[in-house]
Copies of this chain bind each other. A is one copy, B any other.
Amino acid sequence: MKGKTDAEEKRKAFRDEFYKTLGKVAKEEQVKFIVQGTIKADVLETVRGIKTQHNVLEQIGINPRIYGYSILEPLKELYKPEVRLVARKLGLPIEISERMPFPGPALSIRVLGEVTPKKIAILRRATKIVEEETKNLGTFQNFAVLHNDKATGIKKGRRVYGNIITVRVVVSEDAVTAKAKQVSYEILEKISDRVTTEIPSVVRCLYDLTHKPPATIEFE
């Protein structure tokens, strides 16, 4: 992903690397089929050109056999609430059936601009804080985003030209639409205090007010 700053370029670079790496393993292990958890919302957004979900291939004209295997997608006609229903019916543990969605390209699309190990390390710390402070809200998805933009702050009386973290908490059924949660200022202030105190480079903490549409849940 080095040098890539555009959201779609980053997503496509992830997809290429993901399937190439998987292809090597599949060849070594003589794997013929990969079972993948693609759901309906992934397919719709990719086909409509909203966002490239890395797990959508055939629907946009990419034959997965170029990577050396076939792909099985048993959930691709289902939306998230139906997927959870299937998981519950199958008796899967609650940590699986009620699990919060997490993006295919992981934290790379929550680091705006170019992804670097340093930025990922900062975002990991912010993610942990946001997850801890929002875990009892019962919301659809809660996470932190690290901006590429910087801002001026003051720590111990000295200037810090540092990082900006945005907190995103949304309510949704199927991820196709979502509402920004009206989280209490008590919780938001705690998060803001923690990210700016526990992470030395962070000087500012923002809260995302935007519903989907016009925003999407993830920034990239």
Known pairs A182-B185, A203-B214; A151 contacts B112 (CB<8 A): yes
For A49, the chain B residues whose CB sits under 8 A away are: 158-159
Query: Which of B148, B154, B207, B213 is within 8 Å of A212, CB to CB?
Result: B154
For A8, the chain B residues whose CB sits under 8 A away are: 161
Interface size, chain A (Cβ < 8 Å): 51
* B220/A151 in contact, CB under 8 A: yes
Known pairs A51-B152, A185-B182; A192 contacts B210 (CB<8 A): yes
For A61, the chain B residues whose CB sits under 8 A away are: none
Residue-by-residue, is A169-204 near B (CB-CB < 8 Å gives 1, otherwise 0)? 000000000001010010011011000110000011
Distance to closest chain B CB from A174 (angstroms): 15
Chain A positions within 8 Å of B, measured between CB atoms, are: 6-8, 48-51, 112-113, 147-155, 157-161, 166-167, 180, 182, 185, 188-189, 191-192, 196-197, 203-216, 218-220
